[in-house]
């Protein structure tokens, strides 16, 4: 999954100024930002942006919208520290800086005619959503499509309305939470407990996974043990990033730059490097 | 031979003085506390020609320790170009070899405009090393003491004169502009250069090839207990990384000068620090020092060769000089050899 994107020759580090069109509160610490999409800005599911707030800094954020479907750019951002807090204080009409799109994309043409399994944990639904919406636009090209989405508790479930729409459109949806609090009519337990319930053919299925590190690790291992070919088990990794373009060295792990060789990797690649450490 | 000239020793300072007229002339000086540092030359006679390796390496002139990336304000961003012309004189062969590799690192895939702007405006005049330091081991890596290519201009000190070799168009230009100072070389000039090279080659105390080490790591013959023993001696000072001409990592920080304006800077950073890879949720992928030690050595010994076909070390010996724990590249290679 080499990135062939050779753009941005001049001003590699200069962000473009874009306007925030709307900000939607999703949970107590997650907001959805809708940004103006600059002219000739094309992106694919799995790619990310380096997002700047002047004076606070720059952080990598996945694009959660789908180019083919929306005219704006959507980012789903959890407040965890300095820059993400600064982002959360912005409102419609404010400006921020973006660089990108960066990184490689989810390969999905290989899944034509085959079943697809999406596995998301927490805010990991954000990068997958870009692909799920693209795939659900052309469902006839694929076999069965299933989504398992795990959250800590019912109040942290993101994009619930959209997920229920996907279900109505024919995607098998399994929602699960670690801790049942509010009235909750779906499942409980870890996403790994629901893998075997899927009515898909594991031997030919393609799987796309995103979530916390421990979850990704467990799901990849289990799917592999269930007979899914390692090349079909695909994830997107997180790493500390300062440049997004293969220069600052922060995201570097065992010979790979997560920012330019990834962030999307398959299980074969992951077994060769990374994930060994944490 | 084309691109080869002879410069009388007495004409060197005149040539440098001419070059200084339309470029910043940078060269090795002795600082007040005795270290060799590269700096702008006020007085040509201050240049140190016979001196040990500079600390830090001249990489700071194309990849500064601290640099402004751009200024931001509520109006947007603005970035100034690094257009100043520079001639850097007296650089060592190993450092030229390092810069040739940095050119590929910063230039390939995505081009780093800050580095490349500086690079395009800089001409290097290097001097082949007649007397290697006890810490040097370029000879085992092919990155010195004399270079066959990759330089702009290489001088060989032949006593009363220099053999001058132009290796790039830019180099040739600044010789041609002062053609009257240079003569055509005779056979004896090449013979003398050859002798100087042989004598230099015999002067190396350290004879290390990193290839054995690489093979041993690839074939899993180096156990973690070895890296543990190296890591145990690390003070986490970052010295090896800052001094190494091939370490390229940086951090990016915003500096607010006012309510709505400021500057984004980049600063050298080091993978020897625990927080270097810290992620959301305070996950520390390289929490133990052994992981960071392995990361540094594996990058230089395994992944540089994979990516560029060359080691991420040119044998300059600066980590040997710097490391208070005595666990530098040469020491590690010696133990594994
Ligand atoms: C490819 C990619 C896509 C991502 N997509 C999303 C997304 O869609 N939504 C989302 O909410 N988050 C996403 N993240 C995570 C997000 O980048 C971090 O949460 C953010 O950088 C934290 O910055 P901060 O300044 O708010 O936190 P800080 O105040 O810097 O610290 C909070 C925590 O985040 C860690 N951190 C700091 N800088 C980085 C960095 N550059 N990269 C990773 N961790 C860092 C710190 O070490 C600390 O543990 C993504 C990360 C990557 C690598
Ligand atoms: S690893 Fe040490 S000897 Fe090798 S180039 Fe870097 S500083 Fe010089
Ligand atoms: S110079 Fe030595 S002590 Fe300092 S960080 Fe490098 S290996 Fe550790
Ligand atoms: S984020 Fe800088 S090298 Fe990957």
Beta bridge partners of B39: B27
B301 within ligand 3 shell (Cβ under 6 A): no
CATH number for the domain including A9? 2.40.30.10
Residues of B within 8 A of A80 (CB-CB) are 280-281
Kindly report, residue by residue over B102-111, the tens digit of the pLDDT: 999 999 889 9
Mark whether A8 and A59 lie in a shared domain.
yes
Kindly report, residue by residue over A200-210, the tens digit of the pLDDT: 888 999 999 99
- Per-residue pLDDT band at B76 (split at 50, 70, 90): confident
A153 lies in which domain range?
Answer: 109-273
| Domain contains B296 | yes
Contact A255 B106 (CB under 8 A): no
Mark whether A73 and A155 lie in a shared domain.
no
Q: In total, how many domains does chain A have?
A: 2
Report whether A104 contacts A2 (CB < 8 A): yes
pTM of the predicted model as reported, rounded to 2 decimal places: 0.91
Mark whether A87 and A124 lie in a shared domain.
no
Average pLDDT over residues A8-17: 77
Contact B113 A97 (CB under 8 A): no
DSSP of B304-317, one letter per residue? HHHHHSS-S-----
Complex prediction ipTM? 0.89
Beta bridge partners of A18: A96
Kindly report, residue by residue over A145-178, the tens digit of the pLDDT: 999 999 998 989 999 999 999 999 999 999 999 8
Contact A250 B276 (CB under 8 A): yes
| Domain contains A151 | yes
Q: Which of A101, A124, A141 corresponds to the end of one domain?
A: A101
B58 within ligand 2 shell (Cβ under 6 A): no
Kindly report, residue by residue over A101-111, the tens digit of the pLDDT: 999 999 999 99
Tell me, what's the pLDDT at B283? Answer: 63
| Domain contains B308 | yes
Mark whether A92 and A208 lie in a shared domain.
no
Contacting B with CB below 8 Å, chain A residues are: 6, 8-15, 17, 54-58, 80-81, 97, 212-213, 238-240, 242-243, 245-255, 260, 277-278
Residues of B within 8 A of A248 (CB-CB) are 249-252, 266, 269
Mark whether B193 and B225 lie in a shared domain.
no
Of the candidates B202, B158, B129, B122, which has an alpha carbon nearest to the alpha carbon of residue B4? B158
Q: Which of A101, A130, A149 corresponds to the end of one domain?
A: A101
Tokens, residue A36: 């103006």
B162 lies in which domain range?
Answer: 4-63+79-202
Mark whether A122 and A84 lie in a shared domain.
no
Distance linking the first and last C-alpha atoms of chain A: 23
Ligand nearest to the CA of B98: 2
CATH number for the domain including A139? 3.40.50.80
Question: Could you give the CA distance from residue B48 to residue B50 in angstroms, rounded to a whole number?
Answer: 6
Residue from B228, B236, B321, B332 whose mutation best tests the ligand 3 pocket (most atoms within 8 A of CB): B236
Tell me, what's the pLDDT at A180? Answer: 80
Report whether A277 contacts B309 (CB < 8 A): no
Mark whether B146 and B215 lie in a shared domain.
no
Tokens, residue A50: 């380096």
pLDDT at A3 over 60: no
């Amino acid at each position: 999954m080499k990135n062939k994107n050779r753009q941005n020759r001049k001003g590699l580090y200069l962000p473009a100024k874009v306007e925030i069109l709307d900000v939607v509160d999703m949970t107590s610490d997650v907001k959805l930002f809708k940004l103006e999409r600059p002219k000739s800005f094309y992106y694919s599911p799995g790619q990310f942006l380096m997002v700047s707030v002047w004076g606070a800094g720059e952080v990598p954020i996945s694009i959660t919208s789908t180019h083919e479907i929306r005219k704006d750019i959507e980012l789903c951002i959890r407040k965890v520290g300095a820059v993400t807090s600064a982002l959360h204080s912005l409102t419609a009409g404010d400006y921020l800086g973006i660089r990108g799109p960066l990184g490689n994309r989810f390969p999905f043409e290989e899944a034509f005619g085959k079943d697809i399994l999406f596995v998301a944990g927490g805010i990991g639904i954000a990068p997958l959503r870009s692909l799920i919406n693209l795939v659900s636009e052309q469902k006839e090209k694929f076999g069965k499509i299933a989504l398992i989405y795990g959250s800590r508790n019912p109040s942290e479930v993101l994009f619930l309305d959209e997920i229920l729409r996907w279900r109505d459109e024919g995607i098998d949806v399994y929602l699960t939470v670690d801790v049942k609090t509010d009235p909750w009519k779906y499942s409980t337990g870890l996403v790994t407990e629901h893998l075997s319930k899927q009515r898909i053919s594991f031997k030919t299925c393609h799987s796309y996974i995103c979530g916390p590190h421990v979850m990704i690790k467990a799901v990849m291992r289990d799917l592999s043990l269930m007979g899914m070919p390692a090349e079909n088990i695909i994830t997107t990794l997180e790493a500390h990033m300062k440049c997004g373009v293969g220069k600052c060295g922060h995201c570097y792990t065992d010979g790979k730059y997560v920012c330019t060789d990834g962030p999307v990797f398959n299980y074969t690649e992951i077994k060769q490097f990374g994930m060994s450490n944490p | 031979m084309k691109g080869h000239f002879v410069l009388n020793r007495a004409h060197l300072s005149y040539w440098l003085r001419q070059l200084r007229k339309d470029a910043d002339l940078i060269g090795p000086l002795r600082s007040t506390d005795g270290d060799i540092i590269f700096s702008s030359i006020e007085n040509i006679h201050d240049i140190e020609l016979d001196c040990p390796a500079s600390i830090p390496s001249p990489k700071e002139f194309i990849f500064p320790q601290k640099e402004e990336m751009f200024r931001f304000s509520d109006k947007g961003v603005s970035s100034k170009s690094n257009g100043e012309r520079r001639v850097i004189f007296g650089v060592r062969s190993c450092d030229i070899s390092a810069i040739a590799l940095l050119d590929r690192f910063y230039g390939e895939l995505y081009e780093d405009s800050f580095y490349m702007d500086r690079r395009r405006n800089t001409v290097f005049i290097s001097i082949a090393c007649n007397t290697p330091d006890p810490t040097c081991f370029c000879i085992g890596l092919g990155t010195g003491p004399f270079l066959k290519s990759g330089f702009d201009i290489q001088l060989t000190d032949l006593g009363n004169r220099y053999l001058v070799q132009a290796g790039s168009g830019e180099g040739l230009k600044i010789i041609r502009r002062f053609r009257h100072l240079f003569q055509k070389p005779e056979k004896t000039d090449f013979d003398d250069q050859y002798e100087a090279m042989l004598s230099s080659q015999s002067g190396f105390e350290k004879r290390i090839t990193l290839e054995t080490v690489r093979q041993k790591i690839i074939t899993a013959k180096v156990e973690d207990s070895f890296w543990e023993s190296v890591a145990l001696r690390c003070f986490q000072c970052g010295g090896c990384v800052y001094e190494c001409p091939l370490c390229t990592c940086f951090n990016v920080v915003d500096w607010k000068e006012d309510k709505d304006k400021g500057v984004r800077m980049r600063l050298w950073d080091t993978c020897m620090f625990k927080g270097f890879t810290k992620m959301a949720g305070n996950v520390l992928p390289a929490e133990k020092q052994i992981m960071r030690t392995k990361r540094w050595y594996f990058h230089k010994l395994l992944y540089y060769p994979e990516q560029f076909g060359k080691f991420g070390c040119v044998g300059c010996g600066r980590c040997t000089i710097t490391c208070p724990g005595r666990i530098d590249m040469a020491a590690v290679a010696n133990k594994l050899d």
